[in-house]
Amino acid sequence: MLNFPRANLRSSRFRSIQIGILVPILILFATIFTPAQGISDRAAVTVDSRQIFQVANSAQLKASERRDSINTQLQAAVESQQPPTVKLELRNKAPTIIVNDRYLLTVTQNDTIDGQTTTEQATIWINQLQAAILQAQQERSPEFIKQMVVLALGVIVVAIALHWLFGKIWQRVSLSVTKLQAISTDGEPQSINLLFRSTLFLVRTAMWTIALLYITNLFPLTRQWSYNFTNSLISSLTSPIFSRGTMSYSITSLVILLGFLIGTIVLSGVVTNILRTRILQAMRLSRGAEASISILVKYALITIGSIVLLQLWGLDLSSLTILASALGIGLGFGFQNIAKDFGSGLILLFERPIQVGDFVEVNDYKGTVEQINARSTVIRTLDRISIILPNSHFLDREVINWSHLNPTSRLHLPVGVAYGSDANLVRSTLIEAIRTHPEVLSSPPPHVLFKGFGDSALDFELLVWITTPERQLLIKSDLYFLIEAAFQQHQIEIPFPQQDVHFRSGSLPIQLSPELEQAILAFSKNVDRHRS
C-alpha cells in the first residue's frame, strides 16, 4: 500500500492558480482550432473536471464506460473527506488499483503509454490519484474557499482596470491613426474607426472570457459547470454543419473564413491608402486620376483576395457557375437601377468625363466632386453640403463640368447705366475696376459688350476669365463691389425703373343738365362754408 502525506494548503493554492490560468487559455485555443473529432478509443478520468489520465477500451467495457465508473468512485472518495488510501494489488496477474479499500480499475496493456509495463503505469496513476484526491479535498475547506473568493474579487478588479485601460489605449491610437487617415484621404475614415471599435470589442470580450473562466476554475462546483459549458461550446463550434466533397465545415471554420474576408477588405483599404499617399501623389497625378487608380486597385485586391481565400478553403468556384448565372439573372431583374448605376460608375472611372475635384453643375446643384464610388458620386456644394447622386445621373442628363480638361471659364456680369451716360467712359471704367482683382485673368483679356437700349438703362455686359470656377459666386460679388465704387468715383448713375404718365384734356362723355350743375355748385359752397 502506498500512503502519501497531505499536501500543504499553499502548494495546493499555487497549483490551483496555475491551472486557473492555463485552462482558460487552452479552452480558447481549443475552441478556435480544434477540428471536429470522431469517436475516440480513449476517455479521460477526471477529478473535479481536472484530467488525471486516460483509459482505453478493455475486453469487456468501452473506454467511456470505464471512465464513468472510475469518476463516480473518485467523486465519492473526495466527498468522504477522509485521507485517501490508494494501493496496488495483483488480481488475476493484473495490476489493480484500490481506493479506500474499494476496487477502482484494472490496468490493461491497452492503457499503457510510452512502452511502459502495466505495473509501471499503475504506479504512476496511483501517485496522480493520490495527489488529485488530496487537492480536491483541500479545495473544499473553508479557508481555501475564502482565499479563492478574495482572489476572484482581485481578478474582477484587474479585469475592470484592463477594460478601462484598453479603452484609453484604443482611443489614443485611434485618434492618431484617424488624423493621419483624414489628412491623407481628405475625408472621414469610417472603415478605420469601425476596425478599431471591432478590435476593441473583441479584445475586451476575450479578456472578460478569460477572467470568468479563471474564476470558475477556482472552485470545484463552478469548475464542473465551466467544464460542461466549454465541452458543449467546443462540440457545437467544431461539429460539421455541412459537407462538400471530402471537406467538412463547422461554425468555427466559417467564422475564421469570414474574419479573413473582412481582413482582406481592410488590408485592401490600407494598401490603397498607402498607394495614394506615398506613390500616386509623388507621381504628380491629378486628384481625379489618383481616385480612379485607387478605386480600381482596391476592388481588384478585394476580388483576387476573396477568390484565393475561397480556393484555399476548399470551395471550388467553378462549380458555382450555374448558381452565379441564375443569381445574375435574378439580380438583373430585381436590381436594374443598381446595376445601371454600377455600370455608370465603371464608365465614369474609365472615360473620366468627371473626376474627383471637378466643379460640376447637375440638376439644380453646383459643387465639387468629392468621391466617385461604385454606385454613387458625392458632390460637396458651395454651402458645404454633401449631395449623393446615382452615377447614372451623370450619363442620362446634361452635366456642366466647369473643370473639364481646362478649368478656365468666363463669367458674364450684366451692368446697366442711366441714359445720358458716356458709353466709352462706362467701358473704360469697367475695365479699370476689375483689373485689380487677383483672380481675374489678364489673358484672355476682359471685354465689355454694349447689349442695347433697355427700358430704363443702357445695357452693358462685362466678360472676364477665371481659373477657379468653384469661386465664381464670390468673384462676381467682389467685382460688383469694385464696379459700384468705380461708378461713384466717375459719377456714373445706375438707373431705376421709370414710367411716364400723360394726361389729356377734354369734355366728359356725360352731359349734365343746368339744374343738376346748379345743385352741385350750391352743395359745394355749403361744404366750403362749414369748413371755414
415 closest CA partner among 476, 474, 470, 490:
476
Beta bridge partners of 240: 250
Q: How far is CA 164 from CA 143, 157, 168, 203, in A?
A: 32, 11, 6, 12
> What would the 3-class secondary structure string for 41-110 be?
CEEEEEECCEEEEEEECCCCCCHHHHHHHHHHHHHHHHHCCCCCCEEEEEECCEEEEEECCEEEEECCHH
> What percent of the chain has a predicted confidence (pLDDT) above 70?
80
Assess contact for 401 and 358: CB atoms under 8 A: yes
Number of H-type helices and E-type strands within the chain = 14, 15
Predicted confidence at residue 26, as pLDDT, reads 42
**Mean per-residue pLDDT of the chain:** 79
DSSP assignment letter at 280: I
Assess contact for 425 and 379: CB atoms under 8 A: no
What gap in Å lies between CA 461 and CA 371, rounded to an integer?
37
Cell of 103: 476496487
At residue 32, does pLDDT exceed 50? no
Predicted confidence at residue 22, as pLDDT, reads 44
Give the helix ranges, DSSP H, for 313-439: 321-334, 336-351, 393-396, 423-434
pLDDT in tens, 272-312: 888 888 887 787 776 667 777 888 888 888 888 888 887 77
What gap in Å lies between CA 371 and CA 190, rounded to an integer?
14
For residues 503 and 52, which has the higher predicted lDDT (pLDDT)? 52
At residue 38, does pLDDT exceed 70? no
Assess contact for 345 and 391: CB atoms under 8 A: yes
Assess contact for 386 and 443: CB atoms under 8 A: no
Radius of gyration of the chain (CA): 45
**Helices 220-238 and 190-216, interaxial angle, to 10°?**
140
pLDDT in tens, 188-197: 456 667 777 8
Beta bridge partners of 401: 360
Q: How far is CA 343 from CA 91, 293, 332, in A?
A: 83, 17, 12
Q: Taking residues 308-319, report their average pLDDT.
A: 72
pLDDT in tens, 357-383: 888 888 788 888 888 887 788 888 888
At residue 64, does pLDDT exceed 70? yes
195-225 in b/e form (b: 16+ CB < 10 A) is bbeeebeebbeeeeebbbbbbbbbbbebbee
Of 186-190, 311-315, 392-396, the one with minimum mean pLDDT is 186-190
At residue 138, does pLDDT exceed 90? no
At residue 158, does pLDDT exceed 80? yes
Predicted confidence at residue 213, as pLDDT, reads 85
At residue 157, does pLDDT exceed 90? yes
At residue 322, does pLDDT exceed 80? no
Contacts of 55 (CB under 8 A, 6+ apart): 42, 43, 45, 63, 66, 67, 70, 105, 111
What gap in Å lies between CA 105 and CA 94, rounded to an integer?
10
What gap in Å lies between CA 438 and CA 463, rounded to an integer?
16
At residue 459, does pLDDT exceed 90? yes
Predicted confidence at residue 156, as pLDDT, reads 94
pLDDT confidence tier of residue 110, bands split at 50, 70 and 90: confident
Is pTM, for the whole model, over 0.85? no
pLDDT confidence tier of residue 450, bands split at 50, 70 and 90: very high
Query: First CA to last CA across the chain, in angstroms?
Result: 149
Cell of 495: 438707373
Exposed / middle / buried, residue 23 (Cβ in 10 Å: 0-12, 13-18, 19+): buried
> Mind listing the domains of the chain with CATH numbers?
9-139 (no CATH), 317-401 (2.30.30.60), 410-489 (3.30.70.100)
Of 62-76, 291-305, 413-427, 518-532, the one with minimum mean pLDDT is 518-532
79 closest CA partner among 36, 154, 136:
136
CB atoms within 10 A of CB 492: 19
Of 20-34, 98-112, 177-191, 387-401, the one with minimum mean pLDDT is 20-34
At residue 87, does pLDDT exceed 60? yes
Q: How far is CA 477 from CA 113, 200, 327, 411, 484, in A?
A: 94, 51, 56, 12, 11
pLDDT in tens, 479-516: 999 999 999 999 998 887 766 665 555 555 556 677 77
Predicted confidence at residue 190, as pLDDT, reads 63
